[in-house]
Structure 1
Amino acid sequence: MKILSVRHVALPALLLPLIAAAQAADEQTMVVTAAPTTVSELDTPAAVSVVNGDEMRQAAPRVNLSESLGAVPGLQVQNRQNYAQDLQLSIRGFGSRSTYGVRGLRIYVDGIPATMPDGQGQTSNIDIGSVDTIEVLRGPLLCPVR
């Protein structure tokens, strides 16, 4: 009887370091950072579309971004012509779960995030008259992994 109880205690104690080593081998540290410098449109690892603000304003009087962003490939903009509901933006399916507004996409205005930490955002607070450029980044390689 004593031999069985010692085996039951000793066997898990001997296997514990092996289990811990196997778990440590599975863990990997990944650091994701954005590019700290300005990169040209052709040197980015993702698909980039740039809409110039001056050309956007000269084409026609713009009320919201749906008229300007309609020609960007992969970007779907739904305007309900209802100012109580904002534009619905989706890039290749991302963001299409929200009934209005922006969800799952990141919007920056002058380098400052315009989306909430939970991924919600609105485009109605973007002043079209002061837009310099609108850059739309698409694809899986938006953040370089080091």
Structure 2
Amino acid sequence: MTDPIIGDIIVGAAGNLAATGISYGIARLADGVRAARDRLRNAIHRATPEEQAIALANYDSATSELLLRSNGNQDLTLARAELATIVEGILTAYVDRYPRARTELQALGANTHRSVIQNVYDQATAIGEVHGNLTINHGKSGESQ
């Protein structure tokens, strides 16, 4: 059983990975789930190839169920919570097997801010927090205002 401190670390890391999963929005949840899977694969790098394959197969199975239920009307908060729960289970088993991974997961949980440059040439919805500057240019690329 995982101690309470590492449990909090796992919850933070899982929440961060889940945020990746929903950062694309519900309409592109499958893309976000794939991006979160890539980050999860990198996070469990200490595991053997067989252990990684099992963990990722469990992730794929659980997230495929999530994606099947998602019809574009699902609440983002619910999707994030469900994805975080999936990742928490995998990370808990991982850190129980590899206790030295604790500091890596702690860093993953703390690494919630990153720079994003997004170019959109059509209509788009962006969900997230802005820390620093935000520039919104209206009009088409190259069009003088």
Q: Please confirm whether the aligned pair reaches a TM-score higher than 0.5, indicating the same fold.
A: no
Q: Which has the higher Rg, Structure 1 or Structure 2?
A: 1
Instruction: Pick the structure with more helix per residue.
Output: 2
Q: TM-score, normalised by structure 2?
A: 0.31
